[in-house]
Amino acid sequence: MANVKTPVVTYTGINQQIEHPDLDATLLECSINNQIPHMHECGGNGLCTTCRIRVLDGLHNLSPRTLKEQEVASIRKWDPSIRLACQCYPKGDVSIQRLVWTSAEVNKLQLETVPEGSAEERAIAILFCDIRGFTKMASENSSFDIAHILNRFYTVLGDPILINNGVIYQYAGDEIIGLFGVSGGLRNKNCQDAVRAALGMQYAIERLNRIELVDFNVTIKLGIGINFGKAYIGHLGHPKHKQFAVVGDPVNTASRIQSFNKTAQTNILISESIYKGLPEGTLETGQTFSPQMDGHEHQTKLYELKGFKEMDIQLELQRSLDYILRNEEAFASKFYNRVFEKAPEARALFKNNMASQGRLLTHMLGGIVYSMSRPEHLTLGLKMLGESHARYGVNKTHYPVVLSSLLETIEEELGDYSSGQLLKAWEQALTIITTEMKKYA
């Protein structure tokens, strides 16, 4: 019998060639087993499409699409070269390019479910955020500085939208607009995501004022308005230049709610439809207002949003992440020292140097926060992570060691900023995650 050649998978971009002897392993497993970063939010179950790749060469050497993949590909009108790495098995040499890299890109995938031709009505939460104090700052600084600062604003204000499953719809001067629930989902979840994003933006700007903007002699304030309702979503515009657009009364109302912050002298206002979208008693609110919005005959009830009544784990995790990771390498070295002190044999499991171990930890903590906001994929994703850890040689006793070492290092790094509430949030999240991963050890 002729020798069968072992398939080789070539990863373009990093230009790495990997032998793939196990014909029962998917392309995604090939990446993971070789520690090549490859998004797989649903844990290889053909649901999230984040593991998608473009096949540059050797398409005929991949197994045909599974039923799950066929369904996904037909909704998105993929050409044959786009494949789900978790659904295909290399039988010969292939050359591939991974297509999704960041959480921002993951969120954008939601737009693929929006029809190409016409607009479709969908119930979404709409968040308008206005950066106040920006005009004064712009008049006092060079345009170069302003472009730099504006980019910084867009980043720190965009992150809470993205981490809470939102899509950044537009930046317009000193305004940023986020949409939640573009690809469907429950009203409760979409409203909660928008509320979390608004509070996350508020914390982010407070941090920016305290740390980065001290030399600019300004205090930036936000005006945020959130509304929920049915809007038209689609690709609109000139036939040769269509753009994703969202239109309708709820969008205009969200913008007016945002503006009403000035009159009301508030920071965050939410409409009654957002307020009622969450279970009663969830939100801490301040004053209420009943203005008559332009174009409406009725009054619109608005609530000043202060926060969640009870600790919200996800918000606590999100707001502490930047503080924890202020100094990636220092955090990593403190953490690993603790782990190796408690479990000296664990040192042998880690192959990389400390700098890349630091990045791994950042990736790990970011991943924890990110995955907690996507409960629909959490268990599936952790199954795969648990399995990969079993292959690294991680056993059941390592998990409590990592959990306590992380908590102790987080407490140390947070310093004055640390609170019982924050540590409780991390403990709860880490317990959920390690309990799930441990099942596969």
Given a contact cutoff of 8 angstroms between Cβ atoms, the answer to whether 89 and 30 are in contact is no
Q: Token pair 């508030």 is at which residue?
A: 266
Residue 44 or 223: which CB sits closer to ligand FES? Answer: 44
Least distance to ligand FES from the beta carbon of 163, Å? 19
Q: What number of other Cβ atoms are within 10 A of residue 71's Cβ?
A: 12
DSSP per-residue codes, 49-62: -TTEEEEEE-GGGB
All residues at 6 or more sequence positions from 296 whose CB lies less than 8 Å from its CB, including other chains: 253
Binding mask 68-107 for ligand FES (x = CB under 6 A): ----------------x-x---------------------
Single out the segment in contact with ligand HEM by CB under 6 A; choices: 18-26, 187-195, 224-232, 433-441. Answer: 433-441
> For the CA atoms of the chain, what is the radius of gyration?
24
Closest C-alpha to 333, from 360, 372, 367:
360
Reported residue count of the chain is: 441
Give residue number: closest CB to ligand FES: 86
**Dist CA 264 CA 279 (whole Å):** 25
Q: Which two tokens stand for residue 98?
A: 């991974």
Residue 188 partner contact from ligand HEM, ligand FES, none using kind-dependent CB cut-offs of 5 to 8 Å: none
Which one of ligand FES, ligand HEM, none interacts with residue 433, CB within 5 to 8 A by kind?
ligand HEM
Residue closer to ligand FES by CB (options 46, 223) is 46
Stretch that binds ligand FES, among 40-48, 304-312, 313-321, 361-369 (CB under 6 A): 40-48
- Lay out the site mask for ligand HEM across 32-61 (x = CB under 6 A, - = otherwise): x--x--------------------------
Residue 48 interaction partner, one of ligand FES, ligand HEM, none, beta carbon < 5-8 Å per kind: ligand FES
Give the tokens for residue 181.
């629930």
Q: Which is nearer to ligand FES, 31 or 261 (CB)?
A: 31
**According to the binding rule CB under 6 A, does residue 320 interact with ligand FES?**
no
Give the C-alpha distances (Å, rounded to integers) separating 348 from 98, 115, 399, 406. Answer: 30, 51, 16, 19
Query: Considering CB distances under 5 to 8 angstroms, the limit depending on partner class, which of ligand FES, ligand HEM, none binds residue 394?
Result: ligand HEM
Find tokens 């908590």 and name the residue. 407
Listed in sequence order, the residues at least 6 apart from 137 whose beta carbon sits closer than 8 Å to its beta carbon are: 146, 149, 216, 218, 220
Q: What's the closest the beta carbon of residue 377 comes to ligand FES, in angstroms?
A: 8
Which of ligand FES, ligand HEM, none sits in contact with 44, Cβ below 5 to 8 A by type?
ligand FES
Residue from 364, 390, 407, 414 binding ligand HEM (CB under 6 A): 364
The partner residues of 229 in beta bridges, in order of sequence, read 124
| 351 lies in the binding site for ligand HEM (CB under 6 A) | yes
Cβ count within 10 A of residue 341: 10
**350 lines the binding site for ligand HEM (CB under 6 A):** yes
Closer to ligand FES at the Cβ: 53 or 403? 53
Strand order in the sheet with 8-11: 16-19, 8-11, 94-98, 52-57, 82-84
Residue 427, both tokens: 């403990």
Q: State in angstroms the smallest separation of the CB of 372 from ligand FES.
A: 18
Q: Going by DSSP bridges, is the β-strand pair 241-247/175-180 parallel, antiparallel, or unpaired?
A: unpaired
Q: What is the tally of helices (H) and strands (E) in the chain? A: 14, 13
Site for ligand HEM in 382-411 (CB under 6 A): 385, 388-389, 392, 394, 398-399, 402
Q: For ligand HEM, give the closer residue by CB, 231 or 339.
A: 339
From residue 50 to residue 69, the character string flagging contacts with ligand FES as x (rule: CB under 6 A) and all else as - is xx------------------
**Quick one: which of 40, 256, 338, 383 contacts ligand FES (CB under 6 A)?**
40
Alpha-carbon gap, residue 433 to 88, rounded angstroms: 28
CA distance 147 to 258: 24
Q: Could you tell me the sign of the dihedral formed by the alpha carbons of 398, 403, 405, 409, in that order?
A: positive
Q: Which does 41 bind (CB under 5 to 8 A by kind): ligand HEM, ligand FES, none?
A: ligand FES
Q: Which residues bind ligand HEM (CB under 6 A)?
A: 32, 35, 346, 349-352, 360, 363-364, 367-368, 385, 388-389, 392, 394, 398-399, 402, 430, 433-434, 437
Q: Which residues bind ligand FES (CB under 6 A)?
A: 40-42, 44-51, 84, 86
